[in-house]
Amino acid sequence: MRKFRLTILIAILVVGLLSMGVTYSAAQNNEQTLEVFHWWTAGGEKQAITNLFDAFREAFPQVTIKPNPVAGGAGITMKTVLKSLILAGKPPETFQVHAGYEMSPYVEAGNLQTINDIWTEEMRENIPGTLKDMVKFHGDFYAVPLDIHRANVVWYNTQIFKKYNIQIPQTLEEFFQVCKKLQAKGITPVSLGDRNKWPATHIFETLLISQGVEFYQKFINGNVEADNQKLLDTLQTFKRLLQYVNEDHAAETWDEAVGDVYQGEAAMNIMGDWANGYFKAKGWTSGEEYDIFMFPGTQNVYDLVVDCFELTKKAEDPEAGRKWLSFLGTVKAQNAFNPIKGSIPARTDAPKGPYGRVQKMFMDDLAAKQTVRVPSITHGSAVPPAFLSTLNDLVSRFVTNRNVEATANSIAQAVKSDFLPNKVKTWELGK
């Protein structure tokens, strides 16, 4: 009997100690910190990331988020800040990155962790194959896609279109007729805000696609010479379009240029559907105060821009990073972010209820058979970062000098010096 009592006592003690141990480690886990770098500071973007952070905090109250927003659309400034942090061995747990080529230098330098186990069956089944391929390197997953944006969109002020009885242009010639008509009425036809260069590259990319997907595929495979007629035509068209943009374009950012459409100072803006988030944040409803059409010649194309997050190798708190990534892959997270951001969810099984009209249209477009999905150049996916950086400079110079032949030459040169040596992928579009 005594022996039995002793055994029970020991058992109680052991259980007690074990549970103390468990409590102790849980208390330690309570103190998790997640540092997140991103560039979502403009109207719509800011509200979307704030809502996502709130939803994450609700799901993981033990994790403290340290947000680090770095202003500058398309990550133009954040990318530089990030590079120095990584070089200094002090990376945040996670940072915003575009799927595809933009991730490649980080992967090759060993800056990121593989996250195959974070990609649940549910995610693998419900995230499109194109996206999965874009975040996989050497057979391993390195990031979780949070959204799908579309780049080849024209946003217009419906009141201006109505006032001047303007029909949606179907061809490039019709588009220029609309521009001419608006200019004659004293309205800026197309607003541009290329202070940070990339919005000009964004238009250049849209015009490249309008020359045909076959040509775009050649371009993003680094297969383009200076005398390529379609490259010359793209630049000619761009030159023509530049007659119709606002004079102060070099002083404005992308969101200020979208703001010109909101103010009624310009009729149209060529931008990704983060502009949708901007208008929504201003209280506008699509189909009422603003509407869209796909840039002529790109009607069947979904120019994909995909924002992702990953886990850095030297993260101070990898567990917090893992929680963040697991969360981003859920329908809950995707629907906390995308309805506000203007994008559509990367999870195709996310309920459509919270989405607006344009977003629902784009969900259908993305799924449609006739749609060709292409990766964006300007937004990091399609070409090596070194080439993109040179291209931004060349296109930005072109906006001022408008020299078609010289720019085509410089682009072909940059393909040789900055693209081909860094080429790791051959794109096959429409497959």
Number of H helices, E strands in the chain: 18, 15
Q: Identity (one letter) of the amino acid at 403?
A: N
Should residue 307 be labelled a site residue for ligand GAL when binding is judged by CB under 6 A? yes
Q: Residue 308 forms beta bridges with which residues?
A: 97, 145
Should residue 375 be labelled a site residue for ligand GAL when binding is judged by CB under 6 A? no
> How far is 106 from 5, CA to CA, in rounded Å?
61
CB of 75 to ligand GAL, least distance (A): 6
- Secondary structure class of 240 (helix, strand, coil): helix
Site size for ligand GAL (CB under 6 A):
12
> How far is 239 from 370, CA to CA, in rounded Å?
31
Instruction: Give the binding range for ligand GAL (CB under 6 A) out of 38-46, 80-88, 171-179, 345-353.
Output: 38-46
Instruction: Give the binding range for ligand GAL (CB under 6 A) out of 27-35, 68-76, 210-218, 235-243.
Output: 68-76
Name which of 48 and 267 has its Cβ closer to ligand GAL: 48
Should residue 74 be labelled a site residue for ligand GAL when binding is judged by CB under 6 A? yes
CB of 273 to ligand GAL, least distance (A): 9
Instruction: Give the binding range for ligand GAL (CB under 6 A) out of 39-47, 162-170, 184-192, 213-221.
Output: 39-47
Name which of 396 and 407 has its Cβ closer to ligand GAL: 396
Name which of 222 and 342 has its Cβ closer to ligand GAL: 342
Should residue 45 be labelled a site residue for ligand GAL when binding is judged by CB under 6 A? yes
Should residue 73 be labelled a site residue for ligand GAL when binding is judged by CB under 6 A? yes
Should residue 107 be labelled a site residue for ligand GAL when binding is judged by CB under 6 A? no
Among the listed residues 70, 379, 404, 419, the single contact to ligand GAL using CB under 6 A: 379
CB 44 within 8 A of CB 274: yes
Should residue 340 be labelled a site residue for ligand GAL when binding is judged by CB under 6 A? no
Should residue 101 be labelled a site residue for ligand GAL when binding is judged by CB under 6 A? no
> How far is 272 from 274, CA to CA, in rounded Å?
5
DSSP symbol at 415? I
DSSP-derived secondary structure for 99-143? SSGGGHHHHHTT-B---GGGS-HHHHHHS-HHHHHHTEETTEE--
Scanning the structure block, which residue is given the tokens 């391993």? 140
| Structure tokens, 414 | 């940059």
Scanning the structure block, which residue is given the tokens 């999965």? 132
> How far is 20 from 232, CA to CA, in rounded Å?
73
Nearest 5°: the CA angle 106, 108, 110 is 70
Should residue 260 be labelled a site residue for ligand GAL when binding is judged by CB under 6 A? no
Instruction: Give the binding range for ligand GAL (CB under 6 A) out of 4-12, 72-80, 309-317, 396-404.
Output: 72-80
CB of 222 to ligand GAL, least distance (A): 22
Name which of 100 and 169 has its Cβ closer to ligand GAL: 100
Among the listed residues 93, 127, 148, 149, the single contact to ligand GAL using CB under 6 A: 149
CB 258 within 8 A of CB 191: yes
| Structure tokens, 347 | 């999870």
| Residues near ligand GAL, by CB under 6 A | 39-40, 45, 73-75, 149, 254, 274, 305, 307, 379
